[in-house]
A = this chain, B = another copy of it.
Amino acid sequence: MGRWEPDARGRLERAALDLYAQRGYDQTTVAEIAAHAGLTERTFFRHFTDKREVLFRGTELADMITAALAAAPGDASPFEAATAALESVSEFFADRRAHARTRQQVIDATPSLRERELIKLASLAAAIANGLRDRGAPDATANLVAEAGIAVFKVAFDHWLGAEDDRDLAAHIRSAIDELRSATRP
């Protein structure tokens, strides 16, 4: 392992996003990302397995959600626990909207990044379903609530990215839940 590089991870993330946005994802190499961040390729690969992963934070989001599910009140319903867990990531995103917007543009323009994003969302759904099972929810409920939670999260995240006001991601999640309840009312 080389010497410690202050915030190497964050510098590599910002450098990669800069280059992907300017030149396109396919036209950017790991060597260029490392050079742009003032770091080595070796340091890049200490933090990320590949060029795609630099736009995704490994299992960080899933871990936050798993922890929040475990910490939710014991009398919360599966849906309440799941949506509280999703709302709990709002703070993480609070000062990153500009970064998140550019990141989403790059992902939407690049099929292989779009695939990785869908895989990450499926992992989040699996993390929620597992957390709900750990709380005692039956399998069928755990899976459905997890998928519905991710549906809410995707739409809320998209609205938060596009919004011009200061409502945080958690507020957009609550709006999407209201919309879901109203839309599915018999």
Instruction: Write the residues of chain A forming the contact surface with B, with a CB cutoff of 8 angstroms.
Output: 77-79, 114-115, 118-119, 122, 140-141, 143-145, 147-148, 150-152, 154-155, 158-159, 176-177, 179-181, 183-186
Please, how many angstroms separate the alpha-carbon atoms of A149 and B114 in the complex? 21
Enumerate chain B residues within 8 angstroms of A176, measured Cβ to Cβ.
Answer: 144
A140 and B159 within 8 A (CB): yes
Contact of A148 among B140, B143, B159, B184 (CB under 8 A): B184
Enumerate chain B residues within 8 angstroms of A179, measured Cβ to Cβ.
Answer: 140-141, 144
Please, how many angstroms separate the alpha-carbon atoms of A20 and B183 in the complex? 41
Please, how many angstroms separate the alpha-carbon atoms of A141 and B178 in the complex? 11
Using known A-B contacts A148-B184, A184-B184, determine if residue A140 contacts B115 with beta carbons closer than 8 Å: no
Contact of A155 among B77, B140, B159, B186 (CB under 8 A): B140
Q: Specify the chain B residue showing the minimal Cβ separation from A159.
A: B140
Q: Specify the chain B residue showing the minimal Cβ separation from A178.
A: B186
**Interface SS, A side:** helix
Please, how many angstroms separate the alpha-carbon atoms of A162 and B141 in the complex? 16
Please, how many angstroms separate the alpha-carbon atoms of A143 and B159 in the complex? 10
Please, how many angstroms separate the alpha-carbon atoms of A127 and B159 in the complex? 19
Known A115-B118, A184-B184; further 18 A-B contacts with Cβ < 8 A: A79-B183, A114-B119, A115-B115, A118-B118, A118-B119, A140-B155, A141-B179, A143-B155, A143-B158, A144-B152, A144-B176, A144-B179, A147-B152, A148-B148, A148-B184, A151-B151, A177-B184, A180-B184
B145 and A148 within 8 A (CB): no
B183 and A77 within 8 A (CB): yes
Q: Specify the chain B residue showing the minimal Cβ separation from A138.
A: B179
